[in-house]
Chain A
Amino acid sequence: MSCGLETYGLGEFGFRLKTQTMASASTPTYNSNNLENNSSKNASRESLRMEPLADVPQLPGEERITDKDIIYICPFNGAVKGKVSITNYRLFFKSFEVDPAMTLDVPLGVISRIEKMGGASSRGENSYGLDISCKDMRNLRFALKQEGHSRRDIFELLFRYAFPLSHSLQLFAFLSQEKFSENGWNVYNAILEYRRQGLPNNKWRITFVNEQYELCDTYPTVLMVPFKATDEDLRKVSAFRSRNRIPVVSWIHPVNQAVIMRCSQPLVGMSGKRNKDDERYLDIIREANGQTAKLTIYDARPNVNAVANKATGGGYEGEDAYQNAELVFLDIHNIHVMRESLKKLKDIVYPQVEETHWLSSLESTHWLEHIKLVLAGAIQVADKLSSGNSVVVHCSDGWDRTAQLTSLSMLMLDSYYRTMTGFQVLVQKEWISFGHKFSSRIGHGDKNHADADRSPIFVQFIDCVWQMTKQFPTAFEFNELFLMTILDNLYSCRFGTFLYNCESVRDNMEVKEKTVSLWSMINSENRKYINPFYTKESSRVLYPVASMRHLELWVSYYIRWNPRIRQQQQNQVEQRYMEMLALRDQYLKKLEELQISDSPRIANNSNSPASPTQLVHHVQTPL
Chain B
Amino acid sequence: MLSLGSGGGKSTKPSFVSYVTPEDMKIKEKEEGLRSKHPYLLPGEVVFCSANHVLKYTQEDVSQRGVYGTLLCTNFKIAFISDESASQETAPPFRNKLLSENDIPLTCVDNIYGVSDEKKKLIIGGQVKSKYPSKLIIQCKDLRVFHFSLTYAKEEEAKKIFQGIVHHSLEPKSLKCVFAFSYCETASPSQASRKSSLTLMFETKEDWSVELGRTKGNCKVSSANEDYVISEKLPQFFVVPFAVSDDDILRFLGKGIPFWCWSHHSGCALFKMACLPTIQEDGISQKYMHRMLDAVTQDQLCPVKIEDLSSCLPALQDLQLSYNKFKQLFLIDSTTEFWVSDMKWFSSLENSGWLEIIRQCLMKAVEIVDYLESAHTSVLIVEEHCSDLCCVLSSLVQIMLDPYYRTRSGFQSLIQKEWVAGGHSFLDRCNHLYQKEKEVPAPVFLLFLECVWQLLQQHAPAFQFSETYLTVLSDSINIPLFSTFLFNSQHHRDTAIKPGHPEAQRSPLNFPSVWDWSLQFDCKAQSLFTNPLYVEKPIQDKALRKTSHQKHQRQLSLPNTLSKPSPRKGFFKEETDNLKKIFLGKRISKWLNPTESSKELYESWQRKPLDYQGLLLPYLDGPSVRVWMQRYLRWVPEAQIFGGGSITTVNRVLELASEIQDLQKEVERRSCRMNSSTAWTQVYSGPPLSARLSSFPFTATHAWSFKPAIPSSIRQSLGSVSSLADKEDDDCQGSGVL
Contact = CB atoms under 8 A, between A and B. Distances in A.
Given A548-B342, A591-B667, 6 more contacts: A337-B725, A396-B729, A540-B690, A545-B640, A572-B610, A601-B670
Contact of A609 (B457, B659, B670, B714): B659
Interface string B705-738: 0011111001101100110111111111110001
A380 to B, nearest CB: 6
Contacts of A545: 638-641, 709
A577 B656 contact: yes
Interface of A: 33-34, 36, 217-218, 302, 304-305, 308-309, 312-313, 331, 333-337, 340, 353-355, 357-360, 362-363, 366, 368-369, 372-373, 376, 379-380, 382-383, 395-397, 400, 437, 440, 452-453, 471-475, 501-502, 505, 533, 535, 537, 540, 542-550, 552-553, 555, 559, 563-566, 568-569, 572-573, 576-577, 580-581, 583-584, 587-588, 590-591, 594-595, 598, 601, 608-610, 614, 618
B600 A34 contact: yes
A590 B604 CA distance: 40
B653 A573 contact: yes
Given A312-B728, A395-B729, A545-B640, A376 B710 contact: yes
Interface in B318-350: 338-339, 342-347, 349-350
Interface in B616-658: 619, 621-624, 627, 629, 633, 636, 638-646, 648-649, 652-653, 656-658
Of A308, A340, A584, the most chain B CB neighbours within 10 A belong to: A584
A363 B347 contact: yes
A313 B734 contact: yes
Given A547-B638, A566-B458, A308 B663 contact: no
B717 A333 contact: no
26 contacts: A34-B600, A331-B718, A336-B724, A336-B727, A337-B724, A353-B621, A354-B622, A363-B345, A383-B708, A396-B730, A471-B645, A533-B648, A543-B708, A550-B641, A559-B623, A564-B621, A566-B621, A568-B610, A572-B459, A572-B461, A576-B461, A577-B653, A580-B653, A580-B656, A609-B666, A618-B656
A96 to B, nearest CB: 18
A573 B607 CA distance: 20
A340 B622 CA distance: 22
A464 to B, nearest CB: 14
Nearest to A549: B639
B729 A335 contact: yes
A472 B643 contact: yes
Contact of B714 (A304, A337, A376, A501): A376
B25 interface: no
Contacts of B606: 563-564
A355 B350 CA distance: 12
B460 interface: yes
Contacts of A601: 670
B682 to A, nearest CB: 12
Given A359-B349, A548-B346, A580-B653, A472 B644 contact: yes
B344 A363 contact: yes
B315 interface: no
A572 B707 CA distance: 33
Name which of A354, A547, A594 has the most chain B CB atoms within 10 A of its CB: A547
Contact of A360 (B338, B346, B599, B660): B346
Q: 7 shortest A-B CB distances, which residue pairs?
A: A358-B622, A543-B708, A548-B345, A587-B663, A609-B662, A363-B346, A34-B603
Most chain B CB atoms below 10 A, which of A437, A555, A563, A580: A580
Nearest to B648: A474
A453 B721 contact: no
B350 A359 contact: yes
A336 B725 CA distance: 7
Nearest to B599: A33
B728 A590 contact: no
Nearest to B462: A572
A528 B523 CA distance: 39
A364 to B, nearest CB: 8
Q: Point out which of A36, A383, A566, A568 has the most chain B C-beta atoms below 10 A from its C-beta.
A: A566
A329 B599 CA distance: 50
A473 B649 contact: yes
A541 to B, nearest CB: 9
Given A555-B623, A580-B656, A580-B657, A610 B729 contact: no
B662 A610 contact: yes
B671 interface: yes
Given A397-B729, A565-B619, A569-B457, A34 B724 contact: no
Contacts of A598: 670
A415 B110 CA distance: 44
A34 B460 CA distance: 27
B624 to A, nearest CB: 5
Nearest to A331: B715
Nearest to A470: B646
B521 interface: no
Nearest to B736: A243
Contacts of B457: 569
Nearest to B596: A33
